[in-house]
A = this chain, B = another copy of it.
Amino acid sequence: MTIQTTTTIGEDLIGALRAGLGEGSVLTSAEDIGGYLVESRGLYKGEALAVVRPRDRDEVALVVKECGRAGVPIVPQGGNTGLVGGGVPHGGIVLSLDRLQRIREVDPVNATITVEAGCILKSVHEAADQVGYAFPLSLPSEGSCRIGGNLATNAGGTAVLRYGNMRELTLGLEVVLADGRIWNGLKGLRKDNTGYDLRDLFIGSEGTLGIITAAVLKLYPKPQARGTAFIGCTSPGQALKLFERLREGAGDQLTAFEYMTDFGLEIVLKHRPAAQRPLSGRHHSYALIELSSPQKDADLQGRLETILGSALEEGLIDDAVISASGAQSQALWSLREDLSEVQRLEGGSIKHDVAVPVSRVAEFIEAASKACEAEMPGIRVCAFGHFGDGNIHFNLSQPVGMDKAAHLAEWERFNRIVHDIVHDMNGSISAEHGIGLIKRDELPHYKDPVALDLMRSLKKTLDPQNILNPGKVVAIGESWPTGFSAIAGHP
């Protein structure tokens, strides 16, 4: 199949969709659809015949059937906050899930919540909170990202160390298939061995195998005690040793172990006047540590004092601060959270979202930093992120004074350097963001060819017409579109 964008097909389809869903659910004016066409960071601008906004699962099925009949591609979209261009349309229609916002059921005894794909993550947090539970997925975009997108990308975030990715937080799904049939897999079961695991096939498939319309998610007892600390040390290797100590000494209470470097902390302090230096001196590496417990009486500050105290005595770390209040904890967390944003203020940034085995994360940071600094004098490595998961956002800020576009033009070259090191360590070139468009041509360099072939077979089996988000994740024949507009010079 080639992508159909001819006017006649488009008009027939739009007529059919309007007849089925009503005028107001099918947007076509440039003004109405503009926001759906642009990738959140402005890296891509796509085009679409229309944006369709069904109200429920059955309307989603209707849209998929009509598009199948017309042979027109569908790009599902949630909050459009993805970081790999997975929601960018290239002709066809955008199917927005944003009106599927019902929380269908909360079952506190089963510790589950059943939500529709269009629910904003924060509203799920709030619904869980109301029954005394927590839904632990925690992302910078939680005020605007939607559950369907979290599922489609198997979202990660800062609580994976303790609770796992979106995959581990999900028990059941409801999915509209490429032929418009609905799979009702909305079971809230902890155990179900009745055949193949369909759920995990759709989670993380970025809308290319089916359109997730609802999910049963796990809830957890709400943390009643927290302890937060910020430490400075001389190398990522020292940070890794400290991580081991904490895992051993705090076990399940260790909820986050986030890493940043001197460069990262300094740019936060530079661009955020309200931010305060957490330790008196400067250090090569920092870690933000959080312990939490559902038990009010858990003495987490005491535990941090013990573990960090002995690490200080032995010279494993150089300095540490343990927060004495919720406000102080929040201030420490802001240093980490603001880092994602302030990089933009330092010019162009070539970004990588990689993972290696935790045992090699320090080695990776050192080797990749060295290689990039040798490749381009003055380049500023901003390595940070979910150290305890082996997941590093290995970003490269442009040398001071360099032209931004010229820096971003080097993206491919640095991909090869960084991803080769990752690959040599049996790592992953996409830890938590997915493949989408941005890594679709990078994937075949590193993915096991047998795995890629299996992926193509699965795509062909589940979407034989190739109408579900074609051109994303994995190439199928000639439908692999090229020529997406790259707004910001890359990719």
- Residue numbers of A with Cβ under 8 A of B are 107-112, 153-154, 156, 160-161, 164-165, 167-168, 177, 181-198, 200-201, 203-205, 209, 221, 240, 244, 247-252, 293-295, 355-360, 386, 389-391, 426-435, 439, 443, 446-448, 450-452, 454-455, 457-462, 473-474
Report Cα–Cα, A201/B433, bound state, in Å: 21
> Within the complex, which residue of B168, B195, B221 is in contact with A251, where a contact is CB–CB below 8 Å?
B221
The contact sample of 24 A-B pairs, CB cut-off 8 A, is A108-B359, A109-B358, A110-B360, A112-B357, A164-B168, A181-B450, A187-B428, A189-B355, A190-B390, A190-B391, A191-B431, A192-B428, A193-B430, A194-B435, A194-B446, A194-B447, A195-B443, A195-B473, A196-B201, A196-B455, A196-B458, A197-B203, A200-B200, A251-B294
Nearest 6 A/B pairs, CB to CB: A251-B294, A109-B359, A200-B200, A192-B428, A110-B359, A191-B431
- Chain B residue numbers with a CB within 8 Å of A357 are 107, 109-110, 112, 187-189
Distance between A309 CB and nearest chain B CB, rounded to angstroms:
16
Q: Are B221 and A426 in contact (CB under 8 A)?
A: no
- The CB with the most chain B CB atoms within 10 A, among A160, A186, A197, A473, is that of A197
Report Cα–Cα, A359/B109, bound state, in Å: 5
Distance between A104 CB and nearest chain B CB, rounded to angstroms:
13
Q: A251-B221, A294-B252 are in contact. Are A153 and B193 (CB under 8 A)?
A: yes
- Chain B residue numbers with a CB within 8 Å of A455 are 195-196, 198
Q: Are A428 and B183 in contact (CB under 8 A)?
A: no
Q: Are A221 and B248 in contact (CB under 8 A)?
A: yes
Q: Are B462 and A191 in contact (CB under 8 A)?
A: no
Q: Are A294 and B248 in contact (CB under 8 A)?
A: yes
Distance between A177 CB and nearest chain B CB, rounded to angstroms:
7
Q: A251-B294, A359-B109 are in contact. Are A432 and B196 (CB under 8 A)?
A: no
Could you say how many copies of this chain the assembly holds?
A: 2
Q: Are B450 and A193 in contact (CB under 8 A)?
A: no
- Chain B residue numbers with a CB within 8 Å of A189 are 355-357, 390, 426-428, 431
Q: Are A201 and B191 in contact (CB under 8 A)?
A: no
Report Cα–Cα, A191/B201, bound state, in Å: 16
- Chain B residue numbers with a CB within 8 Å of A201 are 196-197, 200-201
Q: Are B358 and A177 in contact (CB under 8 A)?
A: no
Q: Are A209 and B191 in contact (CB under 8 A)?
A: no
Report Cα–Cα, A455/B201, bound state, in Å: 11
> Within the complex, which residue of B181, B191, B221, B294 is in contact with A432, where a contact is CB–CB below 8 Å?
B191
Q: Are B192 and A221 in contact (CB under 8 A)?
A: no
- Chain B residue numbers with a CB within 8 Å of A165 are 191
- Chain B residue numbers with a CB within 8 Å of A244 are 109
